[in-house]
Amino acid sequence: MPLDARTKLFLLLGNPVEHSLSPAMHNGAFEALGLNCAYLAAQVEKENIEAAITGMKALSIAGANVTIPHKETVIPYLDSLSPEAQQVGSVNTIINRYGHLTGTTTDGEGFYLSLQKYKANYEPGQTALMVGAGGAARAVAFALANKGAREVIVANRSESKGLELSNILLERTPLQKSLYLPLDKKGLAETLPRCDLIVYSLPFNLPEFKEALALGGPFKKNQLFFDLRYKPDRTEMMALFQEKGGDACNGLAMLIWQAVKSFETFTGQAAPVEVMQRKAGL
């Protein structure tokens, strides 16, 4: 569909954005459905986030995705939040309806759908270890807790953020058991054997966690290490966990499923999932 004066524009707001797969996925999906829409990536510095959101209204931008580092800082500039975004305290999707901006998050749903696709027999009532307590970890931890996890353990560098996540999970979801764990190799190595699911939510390979993997194990085949990163395909942490007998997957399918759910929020139409998967290189 050629672009014209009626083309609806969607943006990705983040920094950095140049390696993002979102424009390829969304533009591929618009094309497949013959929609007069376009999706561009916009690099937004932290100090410009308010201007970017106000600008969405001024320019009638139809919607946006939000990524690192703005998922929490956009919230004060939006007109309303979905119950999911309110609960998690994070926004990855904004929809502009006649100048009213609503923020929602599809990260948790994207994670859970990708988990179920990877492990068809995944049972919700399990023990999960979150490594990290940032925006992505929060969305995933809420999804697991809302779906009926038995226990969610939060391991994080800063105690205040780790404890905060653990406490709000207990306050805002049906979860009955949660605790905070420092990122210390001995404590982590002792905890790993009783975790069915380990969600690695740090943006880099943390030496203390590598040491914990080396100390811990052997792991069981039904223990899943889910690395939220997807570059490289098999991260060093995934390889370490697999070498000790456990199962591991990366975050590419989560990225695709959160995009699928965003696309459906943007357009109100079922997303062409296979097109989006192909565009993301799955």
Catalytic residue IDs = 71
Token pair in block for residue 186: 């001995």
CB of 223 to ligand NAP, least distance (A): 20
Residue 84, amino acid: E
**Least distance CB 240 / ligand NAP (angstroms):** 17
Task: Name the residue nearer to ligand NAP (CB basis): 28 or 135.
Answer: 135
Please state, in angstroms and rounded to a whole number, the distance separating the CA atoms of residues 279 and 125.
Answer: 34
Cβ proximity to ligand NAP, 133 vs 198, nearer residue: 133
Q: In the β-sheet with 100-104, what is the strand arrangement from edge to edge?
A: 37-43, 8-14, 63-66, 93-97, 100-104, 80-81
Q: How far apart are CA 150 and CA 176, in angstroms?
A: 7
Distance in Å, CB of 171 to ligand NAP, minimum = 19
Report the Cα 87 to chain-centroid distance in Å. Answer: 15
CB of 256 to ligand NAP, least distance (A): 8
Whose Cβ is closer to ligand NAP: residue 28's or residue 251's? 251
Cβ proximity to ligand NAP: between 132 and 216 the closer is 132
Q: Which residues bind ligand NAP (CB under 6 A)?
A: 68, 107, 132-137, 156-158, 161, 201-203, 206, 228-230, 251, 254-255, 258
For the bound state, the minimum distance from the C-beta of residue 67 to ligand NAP, rounded and expressed in Å, comes to 7
Comparing CA positions, the residue from 267, 271, 252 lying closest to residue 32 is: 271
By C-beta, is 3 or 214 nearer to ligand NAP?
Answer: 214
User: Cα–Cα distance between 216 and 228 in angstroms, integer?
Assistant: 21
Q: At what angle do helices 22-33 and 273-280 cross, to 10 degrees?
A: 150
**Could you report how far apart the first and last alpha carbons of the chain are, in Å?**
25
